[in-house]
Structure 1
Amino acid sequence: MQQATPLQARVEGGGTPTMANWSLGSEAGVLKDVLLGPPEGFRWMGLENAAWSSLVRDTLRRGYSFDKQLAMRQHREMVSAYEDAGVTCHFLPLDEYNPYQVYARDSSFMTPYGAVICQMANPRRRGEYAACLRFYLERGIPIYDMVSSGNFEGGDFNIIGEKTALVGYTDHRSEEIAARQVAGWMKDEGWEIRFAPIDQFYVHIDLMVCMLNERCAAVCLETTEDDIVDWLKARQIEIIPASFKETMALGCNVVALGNDRVLSTAGAKDLNTKLRAAGFTVYDPDMTMFTWAGGGVHCMCQPLNREAA
């Protein structure tokens, strides 16, 4: 009988074996497989989610309205961009009670050793863990561990380079105590961890820092602390700046596809111009139904498998 995938593959003290059939050592290598949430159950949570996102509060103030058919079309355009880039798209099983599972980065994050199941801050989203477990276990992807000390969401685990990550926390969506639990696991595996405490207004660290390739990152210099910018530069990472206005519209929340290709959005016009001028191929679907609800394309994806950068 086939042995079940463990719910804690992590070896205490480090030395956890890397995954045999999947690989994720960077945010910049050629993306081969990505996990997305199902759009069929997506709807805006509105006031239910306003307390957890400054971006949602802005949408409510502006009086924007949700269009389900437009959301479905936009999601299909995003999937088409991935497929055009040679990426195989996988989907979480649909749970009608969890409309924001479409933001697949929040509920789990991948490491070279398996998936980490997160602890969501919003009580209305905590059930998203179940679909994650079903997906990973059915595909033989190890569960590295599960966050247990407090809230921590996947957008605050930001891989910068080989065995190097920014770990953010706001003490709102992600809490310091849980960030330190996650960081401790990774330090035991030999990782360099740089903590990035941020104001809860900015939600997650991947709102303002996203890798474009192994030596280049999109960064909002107006919101990212100087010491983090200096740390990135010390690692010889070139910075392509994103404006505050575009960043707060999820414009900096982009996905590196590998080989200098980037998934962005139509709304990030200024950043897209800079990326193309720097030699990047840019996919830029219109994603307003999702960005106005508080998450960009980086929030919507969980890379499962990348070639070595």
Structure 2
Amino acid sequence: MITTTATTTIPWGLDSETGVLRHVLLGKPDHFEWRPVGAVSRQTIALGLHFDAQAAMAQHREMVDVFEQAGVTCHWLDARPELKYGVFARDSSVMTPFGAVITMLQTRYRRGDYALTFKFYEEAGIPIWNMITAGHFEGGDFMVVEPGFVLCGYGGERSEKEGAEQMCSWFAAKGWEAYTVPFPSHFVHLDVSVGFINRKLVAVAPDAHQPWFLDLLKSKGYEILPVSYHDATQLGTNIVALGNDRVLSTAANKDLNARMRAHGIEVFDPDLRMFTLGGGGPHCLCQALQRDPL
């Protein structure tokens, strides 16, 4: 276990994906450009689509406005010109009920992100619980679903089985249910096919998962809102629960947005196309640091 000296009285940590979000970690979009880090961005680049840096900055600001209007305090990773994908704060670390975990990023475009992550946690005085060492494991594949229950996904291209199993083992040692969840590699991360909305609803791309996983979610009392294979590959489930039946989604996510609203969910839907075309949605762009306990 690794710890830093706490300098604040904020009770950092979370026990769910859906408790009221209070503090969030974000990356700065200053140096963001598309790179071939996954299936979506590779297709975007192959199609010759135009990246607009000014639009990216404006779209990111629109997302930040949603967080601030929802009462969420935003914290920031530093930006460096060589770390084009540092804006996606989800992957280089994860928050747990026991402190932060520093992950092991696979793609060469992101291997330096750990330096900014360490710097942030040290300066913020947030304890670091552990570090992934057994194999690649990235934050988009980790979910503290609810107290006592975590998911650790792996698709092979980014996170590996060994890394997912190591994370699960730490939670199992504390008496938690911890499941490794394999999925097809072109989905990149678990949060590309699974997105928790509130304590009763979860958006899932059924085609991305084995029947046992869907049965597991149902056994925990979740109603599944199915998302099509196509919509999932376009970041359709990559949403952020803000708590109290509020969700951050995107303007392009029209079908799921409409169905969430039909369930009484307040949906915030900024245009984030510059980022989704680069392979990441709102869940990829943030790391929850503190939520109210369920």
Q: TM-score range by the shorter chain?
A: over 0.9
Give 2:207's match in structure 1, choosing from 222, 226, 236: 222
TM-score (norm. length: structure 2): 0.95
- Range moving further from structure 2, 75-84 or 237-246: 237-246
- Aligned pairs for 1:174-185 (under 5 A) are 174-185=159-170
- Residue 127 (1) aligns with residue 117 (2): no
- Residue 24 (1) aligns with residue 8 (2): no
TM-score (norm. length: structure 1): 0.91
1:149 alignment counterpart: 134
Q: Deviations over 1:187-223 (max 9, x none)?
A: 1122101211112111111111111112211111222
Give 2:49's match in structure 1, choosing from 33, 48, 64: 64
2:158 alignment counterpart: 173
| 8 Å CA contact 1:246, 1:267 repeated in 2 | no
TM superposition outliers: structure 1 runs of 4+ over 6 Å: none
- Which secondary structure does the structure 2 equivalent of 1:100 belong to? coil
Q: Deviations over 1:166-198 (max 9, x none)?
A: 111122201111111111111112210121111
Give 1:255's match in structure 2, choosing from 240, 252, 275: 240
Following superposition, the deviation at residue 161 of structure 1 comes to 1.4
- Which secondary structure does the structure 1 equivalent of 2:180 belong to? strand
Q: Deviations over 1:143-176 (max 9, x none)?
A: 1111111211011112221121111112220111
| 8 Å CA contact 1:208, 1:220 repeated in 2 | yes
- Aligned pairs for 1:9-20 (under 5 A) are 9=3
2:198 alignment counterpart: 213
Q: Which runs of 5+ in 2 are unaligned?
A: none
| 8 Å CA contact 2:90, 2:139 repeated in 1 | yes
Q: Deviations over 1:227-246 (max 9, x none)?
A: 11110001111111222222
| 8 Å CA contact 1:106, 1:154 repeated in 2 | yes
1:108 alignment counterpart: 93
Q: Deviations over 1:64-84 (max 9, x none)?
A: 110000000000000001111
1:38 alignment counterpart: 28
- Which secondary structure does the structure 2 equivalent of 1:149 belong to? coil
- Residue 8 (1) aligns with residue 29 (2): no
* RMSD value, Cα: 1.5
- Residue 186 (1) aligns with residue 171 (2): yes
Residue identity opposite 1:275 in structure 2: M
Cα distance in 1 between the residues matched to 2:11 and 2:200:
26
Cα distance in 1 between the residues matched to 2:34 and 2:41:
9
Following superposition, the deviation at residue 20 of structure 1 comes to 6.5
Cα distance in 1 between the residues matched to 2:63 and 2:26:
10
Following superposition, the deviation at residue 63 of structure 1 comes to 2.1
Q: Which runs of 5+ in 1 are unaligned?
A: 1-6, 11-18
| 8 Å CA contact 1:103, 1:299 repeated in 2 | yes
Aligned length: 290
1:15 alignment counterpart: none
- Percent sequence identity is 47
2:78 alignment counterpart: 93
1:200 alignment counterpart: 185
Cα distance in 1 between the residues matched to 2:144 and 2:289:
13
- Which secondary structure does the structure 1 equivalent of 2:287 belong to? strand
1:307 alignment counterpart: 292
- Residue 285 (1) aligns with residue 270 (2): yes
